[in-house]
Structure 1
Amino acid sequence: MANYLLEIGTEELPYKFIPSAMEQLKECCSKAFEENRISYKNITIYGTPRRLAVIVEDIAESQPTFEQVMKGPPAKVAFDENGNLTQAGLGFAKKQNVNPENLYKESVGNVEYVFAKVKEEGRKTAEVLKDLVPNIVLKLQGSHFMRWADLEVKFSRPIRWIVSLMNQEEVKIRIADVESTRCSRGHRFYGEKEVQINSPDTYAEDLYKAHVIVDPAKRREEVMKQASDIAKSVNGNVHLNPELVDEVTYIVEWPYPSLGSFDKKYLVIPKDVIVTVMAAHQRYFPVFDTNGQLLNHFITMANTNEPSALENIKRGNERVLKARLDDAIFFYTEDTRRTLESRVEDLKGVTFQKGLGTIYDKVSRMREISYFISEELNLDKAAVDNIEKTTLLSKADLVTSLVREFTELQGVIGSDYARLDGESEEVSTGIREHYMPVSAEGELANSITGQIAGISDKIDTIAGVFALGKIPTGSADPLGLRRAALGIVLTIMNKDINLNLSKVIENAVSIQPVKIENKELLIQEIREFIIQRLRIYLTESYKYDVVEAALSTKDPLADLKDLIKRVEVLSKLVQKENYNLFHDAANRIHRIIKSEQFNPTPDPSLFVQDIESQLWNCVKSINEDNLDYNELVSKLEACIPVIEKFFDEVLVMDPNMDIRQNRLSLLGNMREKFLKLADFNKIVA
């Protein structure tokens, strides 16, 4: 066994490409090694702005000898009547590179065929890699790939050097016009121009000495540590946004911190604006005091620690930030000349979607939907009033100068301005939260105002876009309807909201400004769309058939809390040792009555055998009022022996039609008890 190192050195790579390329490299290497019968223990991927590297541990030094049986033509075609090989037989032997004498016959079904055992000697791994590695590297995908010099090869950035080592020995690789050596390159400013790599085992250490931290995880730790340390010099705490930390990690090879500052006069601007200017637009880390108040300092990471260079970087960063904050304070001053509520009328000039009116029209629909939800939840007047005000003001910040400049702050600016206008904390918080969650893993709204306004906003968008016939297909979803659907579901489930979502869908569809030919069909399409999001979400934690069984018995959107309870209980049930008896009983009943007509309630006077009365007592023992699902399972389990005995002793399809109908009715009532939990026919036992 050996260790193998591949390093692809480049011009500075786009930071977004590096983590993607690392994932692709690992996947491509793993697949290529498997296809080429090269065994290994582990693959480690490194990445910096100037390099992508692969270290393969315990890679086999040669492929194993490979033997496989190849099927040829039918024997009657491969041999003539005298037993001599025909041209077809000889051709098969030649194609497989075997001696014709080694061909043999074997029957497959009723036909005899010619076979050959083909033996392929394993090649040295180093030889295989010469062809394999260029294909792996050039398979990497990314945006804005480029050609350089007069080459036809395309890559994210020009390839400048390649290192390829098997233990201490070079494995010659050529990609484009670059041939591999054992020489890497250190830090652009501080490392040696050429760094000799002794072996894969010393790779990270060799480059560390040349001021390159090749492991992104270690580089990330260093970014966070240095940022935290320098923040302490001004008695502050740095806000380490994970996405920004990741971004900075991939734009430096050895991070050096720099502490900058700005005039305190800018702190009058809402801190969300300043933080956004710093983090999203300039890649600066904001600094806060121990009380969470923003300080007039920021931290950047540079790729150099040369004093004059760092000072120039600091001054440049401060100059850029000042210009951005000058704009922000101007916009803020202009915006705060008017109240947020006075801007609601301005929304009449902002189109939502062609066919669905303006944002003002959308807000009007949101207000109707939120009032409907408030009524359904039986909220008190204070809560209803707060929700009404939240919904009214929810989109007003879209016509402010700050949101036009910083679109990612929609909702956030509205919340800050509402607070300045003297609106209640419930309203200002609701405005901020009604966009939540902004991603599948995003934070959910905590306030009832944010939850109801958010559900109203999202369901109105879904209903309106579906009414226009713009249903998402494939991966295309420009309006984020899938995210909106999941956001509604997660908010209701995780925030313990007892809301019938199917009724909300009906309400939202009824107020759309679009001529709808078939409202029932549209409602059903929206329901199925949301249920599919729910299905995908639940199958991340539960077995698919369990989820499907729970979804199939009742309208899952009518009570999402109930659905989750049933899925949880069902998941435990199917893991029991005796579940197969439970499953068989439920599905035997299902198979018998699924297409039969029967009376709603059996007539005990028509019971012929004692076991029929016993089964009816089982049915009656299951009280449906406020029945806990664990208790339901226990009662159903107690009925299993009775059901089994019933089928052993009773002929359901009795010649007497009255008795037959009565027995079908008895089984139908028993089946209804199973369906309270799930459709067990959907579960794969």
Structure 2
Amino acid sequence: MADLLIELFSEEIPARMQGRAAADLKKLVTNGLVEAGLTYASAGAFSTPRRLTLSVEGLLDASPDTRVERKGPKVGAPEKALQGFLRGAGLSMDDLEIRDDKKGQVYFASIAKPGRPAADIIAGVMDSTIRNFPWPKSMRWGTGSLRWVRPLHSILCILSREEGAEIVPFDIDGIKSGNVTQGHRFMAPGDITVSSFDDYAQKLKSAFVMLEAQERADHIWNDATNQAFAQGLELVDDKALLAEVAGLVEWPVVLMGAIAEDFFDLPGEVLQTSMREHQKFFSVKNPKTGRIEKFVTVANRETADNGATILAGNQKVLFARLSDAKFFWENDLRIASAGAAPWIESLDHVTFHNKLGSQAARIDRIAALARDIAPTVGADADLSEAAARFAKADLSSEMVYEFPELQGLMGKYYANHAGHPVEVANAATEHYSPLGPGDDVPTAPVSVAVALADKLDTLTGFWAIDEKPTGSKDPFALRRAALGVIRLLLENEVRVPLSDLIGKGLTQLEDKAATEHSAASGNLLAFFHDRLKVYLKDAGIRHDVIDACLAMAGNDDLTLVVKRARALSDLLGTEDGTNLLQGFKRANNILSQAEDKDGVEYSFGADVKWARDDTEIALFNALKTQGKAISTAIEAEDFAAAMGGMAALRAPIDAFFEAVQVNAESDIVRRNRLNLLGQIRKICSEVADLTKVEG
């Protein structure tokens, strides 16, 4: 057994690519080793800005010997065919044996393949891995043909055993493998010779390189939070930035700097965004005021002045950046105070889509839709329209132009500053939500109205011009918009026929677009149903249960569909529900066969006077009692009660099938029993289309 250590040392790898690259290195190498017959005990991959590392423990010293059997020509086949087989297998006639086969006697060859040393296999696997590495972007340099994310400087590849380590020799475009790596670029730039992974990790740590990304991230977070705590402050959580910064440094040194008081009046989100996007700084806030007052930067080296020079340079650059942000903020506030008319007017010159007009035209449609939707969600129609007209005004602001991710949020600040009602201000931010499965759903009625209008306009617009998602392609994020509508309706328990909302959206479009795509409404409703299946599947409801509920009337009332689906799913999760489903399917199958054979429909006329068995009478009584209860519950949309009534039918249906032969010799009794099964089908079908449920 041996341990394998690989390091690919290069110029700086972009932080966003490091984690995936380490995983790809592990997958490509270990898959290649296993395919060649080299099994191993464990493997771990690591990344820093300048290196990808793989450690494989418990690797076989060589691939095992194998024996392959090859079937040759039939005995008596032409000599030419036999000689060709022998040449291809590298054998002679003495190496062949004759076996009986389905078509007679056949020559078979048994070919021994000796195992290969681990080093030989590793060299081949590494050549293939490096030359075919799946970087999102790669480059060539010098005169070679090798492509890598950044110039590749060295390759470390050694096999370690108790008796020592050996270099696995190979050459990639003049880069020869060895047992040497480099320490920190500035603090320990010399060569480091290593003999094992433990030796490698320890020597790198001594040379100011933290190999594990998580260790670097933990060090940054712990040091930064401790420094903030010591000053009575709090570090603002930013997991994405933490992961990125951990990929920018090999030896993180945490430094805390102050933000000039000139910028304390800027919204916290502006400060945080400007520092994160431009400088990769963490924000530090005063917990008493919530104001961001300091920042944390992470250097890649220790310095004699403890980072003072680095910090001074960063603060100088930050001052310039925040001065720009302050200028944008003050200028935007002046425009917002005057009613934001220049922003709104400028949107008339911004194209939303060449077939759907300008942003201003789109805002007109959204405003009209929001007014129509408002009564449905309990919102004031005038406020909803006003909120829709202001919601996207900040798209023309200088701050959002500089920081697009602040759209909506800045609109809220500007609306508050201009004295708009709080509902209008909140809708500016909230109408974009929910943006994803984990995003909060607005609950304020005006925000819900504008959010629905915004997403419905997007969906109906692109459906009308036949720009639907295809396969994995969804350039206009229509699936996300549909899921947003679904969550807005369901989580706010909005009861409205979705087809009505779709129709209202289509009527806001140009007559030409709506007329040429009159089928858009039905197609879009089907798209919503598909998205609903995905949403409910994630909630643990089976697709066939959802199909059974979508087959019912009122399937464009998604809140109603989901209430029904959850109740049916709960019923089918019980023993009564499972057995009832089997009873229904048995009844339905017998009915279908009899109706096909007889050419009639057995859906009426069952009479208890023709009952010949106690179980038959009991089923009549149960259907009469529970049928009324189920119908009453369905009318009241009390699906839990309806399912309870269904569950009560399980025992009498089971008993009936155990005791009675439906296709009796008497035609009268047979027809009566078939009509009794028709009642079962009718009552069960009031709850859901159980024919679509599997099992």
User: TM-score range with shorter-chain normalisation?
Assistant: 0.7 to 0.9
> Which residue number in structure 2 is paired with residue 478 of structure 1?
475
Could you tell me how far apart the structure 2 residues matched to 1:677 and 1:104 are?
68
Q: 1:424 aligns with which of 406, 421, 424?
A: 421
> Which residue number in structure 1 is paired with residue 368 of structure 2?
368
Matched, 1:639 2:688: no
* Code of the aligned partner of 1:91: G
Matched, 1:228 2:225: yes
- Contact 1:509-1:519 within 8 A present in 2 as well: no
Q: Secondary structure at the match of 1:336?
A: helix
> Which residue number in structure 1 is paired with residue 53 of structure 2?
53
> Which residue number in structure 2 is paired with residue 304 of structure 1?
301
Deviation at 1:372, TM superposition (A): 3.1
Deviation at 1:578, TM superposition (A): 7.9
Deviations 1:83-109 (A, max 9, x none): x7743244334434455443444545x
- Contact 2:549-2:555 within 8 A present in 1 as well: no
* Code of the aligned partner of 2:149: S
> Which residue number in structure 1 is paired with residue 353 of structure 2?
353
Deviation at 1:228, TM superposition (A): 1.4
- Contact 1:492-1:560 within 8 A present in 2 as well: yes
Could you tell me how far apart the structure 2 residues matched to 1:332 and 1:180 are?
56
Could you tell me how far apart the structure 1 residues matched to 2:64 and 2:267 are?
66
Q: Secondary structure at the match of 1:516?
A: helix
> Which residue number in structure 1 is paired with residue 144 of structure 2?
151
Deviation at 1:246, TM superposition (A): 1.1
Deviation at 1:675, TM superposition (A): 4.7
Could you tell me how far apart the structure 2 residues matched to 1:640 and 1:412 are?
55
Could you tell me how far apart the structure 2 residues matched to 1:652 and 1:341 are?
79
Matched, 1:140 2:133: yes
Deviation at 1:628, TM superposition (A): 5.3
How high is the sequence identity, in percent, across the aligned residues? Answer: 27
Deviation at 1:30, TM superposition (A): 4.0
> Which residue number in structure 2 is paired with residue 178 of structure 1?
175
> Which residue number in structure 2 is paired with residue 671 of structure 1?
681
> Which residue number in structure 2 is paired with residue 126 of structure 1?
119
Q: Given the superposition, is the C-alpha separation of residues 115 and 423 from structure 1 closer, same or farther in structure 2, using an over 3 Å criterion?
A: farther
Q: Secondary structure at the match of 2:540?
A: coil
> Which residue number in structure 1 is paired with residue 605 of structure 2?
603
* Code of the aligned partner of 1:188: R
- Contact 1:604-1:613 within 8 A present in 2 as well: no
Q: Secondary structure at the match of 1:329?
A: helix
Deviation at 1:32, TM superposition (A): 2.3
Matches of residues 493-508 of structure 1 in structure 2 within 5 Å?
493-508=490-505
* Code of the aligned partner of 1:141: P
Matched, 1:79 2:75: yes
* Code of the aligned partner of 1:371: R
> Which residue number in structure 2 is paired with residue 242 of structure 1?
239
Q: Given the superposition, is the C-alpha separation of residues 675 and 12 from structure 1 closer, same or farther in structure 2, using an over 3 Å criterion?
A: farther
Deviations 1:319-353 (A, max 9, x none): 32222222222222222223355343443333222
Q: 1:434 aligns with which of 431, 436, 444?
A: 431
Deviation at 1:136, TM superposition (A): 1.8
- Contact 2:11-2:150 within 8 A present in 1 as well: yes
Matched, 1:282 2:276: no
Deviation at 1:356, TM superposition (A): 1.8
RMSD (CA atoms): 3.4
Q: Given the superposition, is the C-alpha separation of residues 608 and 468 from structure 1 closer, same or farther in structure 2, using an over 3 Å criterion?
A: same
Could you tell me how far apart the structure 2 residues matched to 1:445 and 1:155 are?
46
Could you tell me how far apart the structure 1 residues matched to 2:543 and 2:9 are?
48
Q: Given the superposition, is the C-alpha separation of residues 326 and 638 from structure 1 closer, same or farther in structure 2, using an over 3 Å criterion?
A: same
Could you tell me how far apart the structure 1 residues matched to 2:88 and 2:180 are?
44
Q: 1:321 aligns with which of 312, 318, 323?
A: 318
Q: Secondary structure at the match of 1:293?
A: coil
- Contact 2:245-2:298 within 8 A present in 1 as well: yes
Q: 1:165 aligns with which of 152, 158, 163?
A: 158
Q: 1:536 aligns with which of 526, 531, 534?
A: 534
Q: Secondary structure at the match of 1:16?
A: helix
Matches of residues 331-480 of structure 1 in structure 2 within 5 Å?
331-339=328-336, 340=339, 342=341, 343-377=343-377, 379=378, 381=380, 384-480=381-477
Could you tell me how far apart the structure 2 residues matched to 1:434 and 1:544 are?
31
Matches of residues 197-276 of structure 1 in structure 2 within 5 Å?
197-276=194-273
* Code of the aligned partner of 1:148: W
> Which residue number in structure 2 is paired with residue 88 of structure 1?
81
Could you tell me how far apart the structure 1 residues matched to 2:645 and 2:112 are?
63
Could you tell me how far apart the structure 2 residues matched to 1:169 and 1:95 are?
36
> Which residue number in structure 2 is paired with residue 102 of structure 1?
96
Deviation at 1:651, TM superposition (A): 4.3
Q: Which moved more, 1:599-608 or 1:503-512?
A: 599-608
- Contact 2:549-2:564 within 8 A present in 1 as well: no
Matched, 1:516 2:510: no
Aligned length: 673
For normalisation by structure 1, the TM-score amounts to 0.88
Deviations 1:8-40 (A, max 9, x none): 111111112212212322332343234223222
Structure 1: gaps (5+ residues): none
Deviations 1:448-483 (A, max 9, x none): 333332222111101101111111223332221122
Deviation at 1:156, TM superposition (A): 0.3
Deviation at 1:282, TM superposition (A): 2.0
Matched, 1:36 2:36: yes
- Contact 1:162-1:181 within 8 A present in 2 as well: yes
- Contact 2:541-2:566 within 8 A present in 1 as well: no
Could you tell me how far apart the structure 2 residues matched to 1:224 and 1:669 are?
67
Deviation at 1:227, TM superposition (A): 1.8
- Contact 1:607-1:659 within 8 A present in 2 as well: no
Could you tell me how far apart the structure 1 residues matched to 2:34 and 2:571 are?
39
- Contact 2:507-2:514 within 8 A present in 1 as well: no
Could you tell me how far apart the structure 1 residues matched to 2:574 and 2:109 are?
50
Could you tell me how far apart the structure 2 residues matched to 1:653 and 1:365 are?
65
* Code of the aligned partner of 1:671: R
- Contact 1:430-1:449 within 8 A present in 2 as well: yes
- Contact 1:9-1:162 within 8 A present in 2 as well: yes
Structure 2: gaps (5+ residues): none
